[in-house]
Structure 1
C-alpha cells in the first residue's frame, strides 16, 4: 500500500472518530459567510455556485503554514504537480491535471504574468508569499474566459489592498543555509481612497543546484528584492479607479552541463531577472450595480541576463500588453420565479513581444478577442454558465473556444454536484516560432495546441458540514501537442490524453483542530502511450492545524507525498532518454506564539525526515532545515 493510501486511511479514521464524539456534545450550527470566488467567472460567484473545480487558499492558511514560496503552498492543491530545478529560487514549474507547465495561466492582481520570452511560462522560483490575500486555482480548460495559456487551468493571485484606517507590519527571520528574510509594509485608507505598500528582501546561500551526491559541493545562493504598491480612489459614488504595481529583482547562482559530462556540474554561472508588472483599472456601476463597466490596461516586462564565468552569455526580454473592456448586466425575470441572470461581454487586445541577444530584431504576436458569458441561477440551487470566445491572431487561424458549467445544491442532504466542459487553445510561444538561442531554431509552421476537457464532482458535507469531502473525476484530450525535437519544436500527431481523480477533505475536528487532506491520481500520456514526464501518478497531502493557549499558540503540520515519476535525461551529446525518479515524502512543521497582541514569534522546520530526493533529474534538494523569526503588527 502506498504512502498516499495510508495518509487517506489515517485521515478518515481520525476525522470520523473525532467528529462523531464532537457531534454528541455540540448542537449549535456554525454559520460562516460563504466564500466568494473571482476567477471561475467574469463575475464574482459564491463557492457553492461554481461548476468548475476551484481551490481557494486564504491569507490565514498561508500564515499558518509558514511557507516562503508560493510553489510550496500549491503542493497541497489537488491536481497540481510541482517541480523545482535545484536550490531555493531555482526555476520552478507547476502542472495542472497533467497539462504542460506553459498551459497554465498565472495572474497576479489582474496582470497575466506568463513570460513570452520563456516559452510563455511563469517561473514560480522567485514568487514569495508576502502580502498575499488569497490564491485561487481554477482547474480545467478555461480559454473561453481567459484565452490562450489556460488549457490546464488558471492560478489567480490577489495581494492585500488598503482598507479604512491604518495598519503596518514588519517581520524578520533567519535560519539554515545562512538564510535571512525581511518583510515590511503598511496599508490604509479613508472613505474615498485606499493605499498599500510592502517590500521584501530574502537571501540564502542555498545548496548546490547540481546534486551534491554527484560530487558537487559548491552552494548556489539566491536573493530576492520585491515590492508591491497599490492605491485607489472613488471620486464619485459607484466609480472606482485603482492602480497596482509590482517589482521583483532575483539573483540566482546556477550550475549546468558541459560536453562529455553526463550529469550536471558545479559551474560559475548566474542569472539576474527583473520582473515589472502594472495595471490600471476603472470600474463604474449603474442602476444600483445592475449594469457594471470595467476597463483596464495591464503591462508586464521580464528582463533576464545570464552569465558564465562573469561574462554575459545570454539576455532576453519578454513584454506583454493587454487592454480590455468588460460590461455585465444583471437582471431577474418574473416569468421564471427565483431566476437570476448575468450577461457579460468582453473585448480584449493583447500584444506579446520578445527580444533576445541571439535575435536580430524583436518579434511579436497580436491578438484581438471578443468573449461572452451568461450565468443563470434557478431557485438558489441550480447554477449554470455558458461562455464563448473568438480570437483573431496575426499568426494563426481564427479560433473559437467555449465552456459550460453546472452546479446543483441538494440542501436536504448537504450534497453539491459540480461539472464543467470546455475547450482550450494554446498558441505556440514566440520562442517556439522564432527561436530562442543560437542552438534552437524556430518553427513558424507550428499549429496551436487544442484541448477538450471535462470533469464531474460530488461535494458532500457531514456532521453539519464540519467535514466536507469532494471527489472529482477529470478527463482531457490535447491535440497538436508541441514538443522539442532535435534543435527545434514540432507538433505531435494524434491525441495526448490525461485523466484522473481528485479527492479533498476539509474537517473541523474540534473547535481548535483542523485537518485538510488531498489526493490526486493522474494518468497523462502522449499519443503513442508514453507516460509524460514530471506527472507523478500519485500525489497526496495532509495538513493539521492546532490552536491552543487561548489561540495565542498555533502548530501546523504539513505532509506532502509525491509519487514515482518520469523525467528526461540528456546524454553528453545532448540526446534524450527517459529515467525514473523515486517517490518522496516531505514533513514540515510551523509554530507561532503571540507574546503580545501585536508581537508574534515563529519557528519552522522543513524536511524533518531529512528525505534525500530529486524533483528534477540531476538537481539537488535541501535536507532538514530550520528557521525562526518575529513579526510585529501595529
Structure 2
C-alpha cells in the first residue's frame, strides 16, 4: 500500500477508508496517498495526469488537455467513482453523476486520496470502483507560481495557509489555459484549447477544547473547445463545438470531541452548470443542485485489550435537475428533482496486530427502489513488517437523470423504471512495510448486476435504457512498491492487470469492456539535492478497445499501447525563489484514449515559483 510517488510516514492519516480517520498502516483498504510536495515536484497542471499514476486507474480523454476525461477504477464505469472535494460530494448531477476530473486544477489539491474497491456501505451511491478525495491543508506560508510553454499554455497559481491554536485558514487556486491542437483525427483544422479557473478555501475555529467549527468552499469555471459530430451526417468531424462548465459548492460543519464521544454535523450545497455551443451558437444546457445534510455520532471504548470505535450516521440530500435546448426547439426540456436519505452503522475493533471493520448502510430513495450495502474487512500484522488484509464490499450507483427521464426526438427515451446498479467485490493483499520500504500485492474480484445499458429498437429506431440481465465481471492484480533511498531519491512503481467484461450483447454473451487496458503501470521518482529539486514519471497504458460509432452498427476497434513520460527540474535561486523546467510526453507518443481524437505530442514548459514562510 505505498504512497505516490513516495512512502510517507507510518502515521499518515486516511480519511475516507472509514467514517473515522485512521492511520494508513492500520487500514485494510487499498489506498494511494499523494501530498503537496511530491505533486509539486512532478509538476502536472491537471489532477487527472497525477491519477494516471495510481493502480487500476484507466484514463480516457477525448482529445488534448482540458477535454472530457473519464477515470475507470478497477474496470468500473466512468460514473462509478465517487469524488469528494474538501469533504463535499462533488459528482456532477447535471452531467450523468460523473466526476468532472478534466476540471480539477492541480493547484487546488494539497492532498489526494484514492480508495479502490466498493465503498457504498460507507459513502453510498457511485462508490463502486472506489473513492477519490481531494483537499487538505496547503503547506503553511505563501506559495505562488507562473508557467508557460508549448501549445500556447500558460498557468498561474498559488496557496496561502496559516495555523494557530484556535484558527486554521487556507486558500488555494489557479488559472490555466492553452490553445491546444486539432483534436479531430482527420487532418489539419482549428485548435481545440481550454481555460480553467479554480479556487478553494477553508477555515477552522476552535473556541474551546474539543470543539471546532469549520467552513469550506470551492469554485471551478472551465471552458473547453472540442470536435464533435456533424449535425447532418452524425459522423465525427472538425466542428467548432465548445462546452462551458461551472461547479461551485460550500460546506459548514461542527465537531465536538470529549469523554470518548465525537459528534459531527454539517451541511453542504452544490451547484453545477453545463452549456454546449456550436460555432458560438447555443445548443443546450443543463443545471443541477445538491443540498446535503449529515449527522454522525462516534463512540470509542475499550473492553479488555480491544479498542472499539462505534459509529452511527444519518445523511440526507435533495437534487434538482434542469435541462434546456435550442437545437430541438425545447422538446428535450426537463425539470426534475429527487430526494434520498441514508443510515449507516460502522464498528471497528483493534487489538494488538489485528484490525477488523464492519459497516452496513441503508439508502432510501424516493424515485427507485431502496438498497442495503455491506462492507467487512480485516488486517493482521504477522511480523517482520508483513501484514495480511482482506475485505468484502458492496457498491451501488443510482440511475442518472438522463437514464431516467432523458428525451431526444426520434432518438432516445429515458426509463423511469430503472433500478440502481449493484456491485459485490472481494480483495486480499499481502503487504510489507520496513525502514522506508513499502510493498503490496493485491488480488480482487467484482461482480456488477443490474448494469444500466443503452437498448436500441430496430423497429422504431429509438434507444432507451434498461437494467441488463446477467453479471458483468471484473478481476485483477495490483502490484505496488515504494522505497525511500535518501532525500535525493524516492521511488515508487505499480503494475495492474485487469480482466473486465460486460453482458450487453443482444444474445447475453460476455463482451470485453472498452477503454480498459488489460495491462497498465507506472514508475515515479522525486528528490532534492542541494539547490536542485526534481521529479519524473513514466506511465504505461496497454492495448484496449473502443467503439467506432462512425460505422453502423458500431464497430469495436483496437487502440495501441503507449508510454507517457514527464519530468520536472527546479533550481532554487534563493531561499524563497526557484526556476523550473518541465517536459510532458517526452517520448512524443502518438496515442489516442478515445477513437478518433488526437492528443498532444512532446511539449516543454518553463516557470518560476515563490515561497514565503513555512
Counterparts in 2 of 1:444-459, with a 5 A limit? 444-459=416-431
Q: Please state whether the residue corresponding to 2:75 is helix, strand or coil.
A: coil
Q: How far apart are the structure 1 equivalents of 2:142 and 2:297?
A: 36
Cα distance, 1:225 vs structure 2: 1.6
Please, which of 226, 245, 252 is the counterpart of residue 273 of structure 1? 245
Q: Aligned residue for 2:395? A: 424
Q: 1:204 to 1:579 in 2, by over 3 A?
A: same
Please, which of 148, 160, 173 is the counterpart of residue 147 of structure 2? 173
Cα distance, 1:44 vs structure 2: 0.9
Q: 1:227 to 1:511 in 2, by over 3 A?
A: closer
Q: Please state whether the residue corresponding to 1:367 is helix, strand or coil.
A: strand
Q: How far apart are the structure 1 equivalents of 2:564 and 2:424?
A: 34
Write the deviation string for residues 477-526 of structure 1: whole angstroms up to 9, x where unpaired: 00011122233222111010000000001012345222100000000001
Q: Aligned residue for 2:405? A: 434
Q: How far apart are the structure 2 equivalents of 1:133 and 1:118?
A: 26
Q: Aligned residue for 2:4? A: none
Q: How far apart are the structure 2 equivalents of 1:143 and 1:173?
A: 40
Please, which of 272, 290, 297 is the counterpart of residue 267 of structure 2? 297
Counterparts in 2 of 1:182-261, with a 5 A limit? 182-211=156-185, 214-258=186-230
Cα distance, 1:91 vs structure 2: 0.4
Q: 1:370 to 1:568 in 2, by over 3 A?
A: same
Q: Aligned residue for 1:4? A: none
Q: 1:365 to 1:406 in 2, by over 3 A?
A: same
Cα distance, 1:571 vs structure 2: 2.3
Q: Aligned residue for 1:470? A: 440
Q: 1:189 to 1:35 in 2, by over 3 A?
A: closer
Task: Determine if contact 1:322/1:350 at 8 Å carries over to the other structure.
Answer: yes
Cα distance, 1:45 vs structure 2: 0.8
Cα distance, 1:559 vs structure 2: 0.6
Task: Determine if contact 1:95/1:104 at 8 Å carries over to the other structure.
Answer: yes
Q: Aligned residue for 2:128? A: 151
Task: Determine if contact 1:162/1:195 at 8 Å carries over to the other structure.
Answer: no
Q: 1:621 to 1:215 in 2, by over 3 A?
A: same
Is 1:313 the counterpart of 2:283? The answer is yes
Is 1:610 the counterpart of 2:588? The answer is yes
Structure 2 unaligned residues grouped into runs of 5+ = 1-6, 326-331, 457-462, 504-508
Task: Determine if contact 2:369/2:420 at 8 Å carries over to the other structure.
Answer: no
Aligned length: 588
Please, which of 347, 352, 358 is the counterpart of residue 314 of structure 2? 347
Q: Aligned residue for 2:361? A: 389
Q: TM-score, normalised by structure 2?
A: 0.93
Greater share of helix: 1
Task: Determine if contact 2:108/2:173 at 8 Å carries over to the other structure.
Answer: no
Is 1:366 the counterpart of 2:339? The answer is yes
Q: Aligned residue for 2:479? A: 503
Please, which of 12, 29, 32 is the counterpart of residue 55 of structure 1? 32
Write the deviation string for residues 556-605 of structure 1: whole angstroms up to 9, x where unpaired: 221110000011111266x4221110100111111111111111111110
Task: Determine if contact 2:265/2:296 at 8 Å carries over to the other structure.
Answer: yes
Is 1:540 the counterpart of 2:510? The answer is no
Q: How far apart are the structure 2 equivalents of 1:217 and 1:541?
A: 33
Q: How far apart are the structure 2 equivalents of 1:33 and 1:452?
A: 30
Cα distance, 1:193 vs structure 2: 2.0
Q: How far apart are the structure 2 equivalents of 1:348 and 1:560?
A: 38
Task: Determine if contact 2:184/2:237 at 8 Å carries over to the other structure.
Answer: yes
Task: Determine if contact 1:162/1:194 at 8 Å carries over to the other structure.
Answer: no
Cα distance, 1:86 vs structure 2: 0.4
Q: How far apart are the structure 1 equivalents of 2:110 and 2:366?
A: 37
Task: Determine if contact 1:587/1:607 at 8 Å carries over to the other structure.
Answer: yes
Structure 1 unaligned residues grouped into runs of 5+ = 1-29
Q: 1:564 to 1:32 in 2, by over 3 A?
A: closer
Cα distance, 1:196 vs structure 2: 1.9
Task: Determine if contact 2:105/2:197 at 8 Å carries over to the other structure.
Answer: no
Q: Please state whether the residue corresponding to 2:40 is helix, strand or coil.
A: helix
Q: Please state whether the residue corresponding to 2:107 is helix, strand or coil.
A: coil
Q: How far apart are the structure 2 equivalents of 1:430 and 1:32?
A: 43
Counterparts in 2 of 1:521-560, with a 5 A limit? 521-527=497-503, 528-548=509-529, 550=530, 552-560=531-539
Please, which of 341, 349, 357 is the counterpart of residue 376 of structure 1? 349
Q: How far apart are the structure 2 equivalents of 1:192 and 1:608?
A: 47
Task: Determine if contact 2:128/2:397 at 8 Å carries over to the other structure.
Answer: yes
Cα distance, 1:229 vs structure 2: 1.8
Cα distance, 1:291 vs structure 2: 0.2
Q: How far apart are the structure 1 equivalents of 2:464 and 2:312?
A: 39
Q: Please state whether the residue corresponding to 2:94 is helix, strand or coil.
A: helix
